[in-house]
A and B are shown apart, each in its own frame.
Chain A
Amino acid sequence: MLRPFAQKIVIQAIDVERGEFVKENAVLELHGIYKVFPGVKALQNVDFTLREGEIHALMGENGAGKSTLIKVITGVYEKESGSIFLKGHDSEVNIHSPQDAQNLGISTVYQEITLCPNLTVAENMFIGRTKGALTNWKKMNEQADKILKSLDIDVRANQQLATCSLAIQQMVAIARAVDMDCKVLILDEPTSSLDDSEVKKLFGLMRDLKAKGVGIIFVTHFLDQVYEVCDKITVLRDGRLVGEYDISALPRVELVSKMLGKELDDLSDIKGDKTEVKSDGSAPVFEAKDLQSNAGIKPFDFYIRKGEVNGFTGLLGSGRSECVRALFGADRVIGGTVKKNGKVIKISKPIDAMKQGIAYLPEDRKVDGIIGDLSVRENIILAAQVLRGMFKPFSKADTYKLADEYIKLLDIKTASADTPIKSLSGGNQQKVIVARWLLMHPEYLILDEPTRGIDVGTKVDIQKLALKLAGEGMSITFISSETDEMLRTCSRLIVMRDRKVVGELTGDELTQSSIMRTIAGGDDGREDGNEE
Chain B
Amino acid sequence: MTTEIIISLLAAAVQSGTPILYATLGEIFTEKSGVLNLGVEGAMILGALAGFMVAKFTGSPVIGFLAAGVVGSFATSIHGVVCLWFQGNQVVSGLALTILGAGLANYLGTAYVGLSAPGFNPLALPVLSEIPVLGKIFFQQDLLVYFSYCIPFLMWLFFAKTRYGLSLRAVGEYPAAATAAGLNVLLYRWVGILVGGFFMGLGGAYLSLAYTHLWTTNLTGGRGWIAVALVIFAFWRPGRAVFGAYLFGGVMALQLRLQASGTQLPSSLLLMLPYALTVLVLVLSSWKKGSSDEPGALGVNIEPVD
- Report whether chain A binds chain B: no
